[in-house]
A and B are shown apart, each in its own frame.
Chain A
Amino acid sequence: MAVEGEAGVPAVSASGRRRTRLDLTAPALLGFPVVWLVAFFLVPIAIVAAYSFDIYSLFPGKHGFTLAAWRAFLHSSVYLGLFWKSVKMSLIVSAVVVALAYPVAYYLALSGTKRKYVLLLVLIAPFLTSYLLRVLAWKVILGNEGVLNSFLVWVGVRSRDHPISQLLYSRFAVMLVLTYVWVPFVALPIFVSLESLDRRLLEAACDLGASRWQAFRRVTLPLSLPGVMAGFLFVFIPTVGEFVTPSLVGGTSGYMYGNQISDLFSTGFPDWETGSVLALFLLAVVAVLTAAFARFLQVRQVTAH
């Protein structure tokens, strides 16, 4: 005897229809993104790979499969050195951004303020202006005749002839600007993970005699780690290949791996082969790191649950 549903239709056949609908909906929904991904992500990567092996080139001349550019890159202390410099800068920026964003997200999520969404909006308000403008604004702040140096002269800490000149066009300037740009981005995932925290766990911790610090360290922090890690990756992945900010405020010492890729493609004499090698290497390292972080995240989530 078939079990009847509310409308008198046998439940089995209804669920069967639902299954059929789902089966058709999923490909329909995923189809376009998959085609998009293949056409504008995988195919371009394949083309870049073809450039790196000199299988394909825009420029005339003899071309054929070769590992020469890869070999040169892997034996080049210059390019690898620049890569590690960029990784170090990016790691520092990511860590500082997370450290700055966490208290903000914590306050918004757990302070119980009624205006938390208004404050969140204020936090992301800089995104309403152009990225370029936000970066250029730092030139006005950090320059020799900028806001900061003018203030120091005004309070008598520095003389007009001896401003702090290493604020702009330096590695410090790049890291400072990147930190400023990425803090709101990181605050968001941390805010989401903290807001979804089950408050009863904190109450239970307090009931069991934990201090506020202990409750934070042993309950809140571990449970918000997925958000922290996601935020960390949000910063690390784009900044390690960053080239706009360094080209605007970095000067010689703030030159990063992303600038080198850009320059190999567009200045001097086009060297798309080496540029492609550098780009693919960056992609591979970021992919590996992302996979590692994703695995770590899953482990933490399982542990937390």
Chain B
Amino acid sequence: MPDAQRPYASPNAAWRGGARDYLGGAALAMGASFMGFDAAARDIGLSLAQSVATTAGMVFVPSQMVMADLARSGAGIVTLIVAVALVSLRLFPMSLALMPLLREGRTERLRFYAGGYVLATTAWAYAMKRCPTLPTDQRLGYFSGAAITNYVVILFSTAIGYQLADAMHPAVTAGLVLFAPLFFLLLFIADVVDRAGRVALATGAVLGPLLFLVDREWSIVATGLIGGTIAFAVHRAGERRGARDG
């Protein structure tokens, strides 16, 4: 990135900028984690076409894992819907937090629903950091550049990973699975510099594993709600202090 604060010359340049930022960082992490998904997909007995179809349809590894696991165990369609709804619930606050930033001052709809479809953690993280510094007509472009590039990368990684899954050394598979969580944690440490954001990351990091011991299904949602609300309280306290002092 030449200058993180300067806008691009045009919406198209913003698209390329998003694609470049993604390829320079998250592409490897996502490639690795979708190849990691293939190891599980093979264990579960999905075909190559089904593995690629789950990636194309969901763009979200946790939903894909739950779906694949339940389909194998012969669970009913209601169980499947409830389980996937629960695990993909976290896409809602993600989408809710980003869309106002992308859509500010714009009236068309369809492109934003398409954007919601390819939304992934990578493009979310990049856009949340970069878009506030961009003019409103460049934000969707920047996000789309990252998100669509991501979509292409994960489709290919799923297809390639499926062929390699059986030949891979277990240590390499473990390394691939480690890649995404590690990358995102470091990316957040580097990118999230405001105090409230830091509090959200720290409380989430502590609560995530702890609440998982209490209740597996609800732990992620509860972690987000508790950690995010504590961080929000810190943000409001900071605002009040700022208003009083400034």
- Same complex: no
The interface of chain A, by Cβ under 8 A from chain B, is none
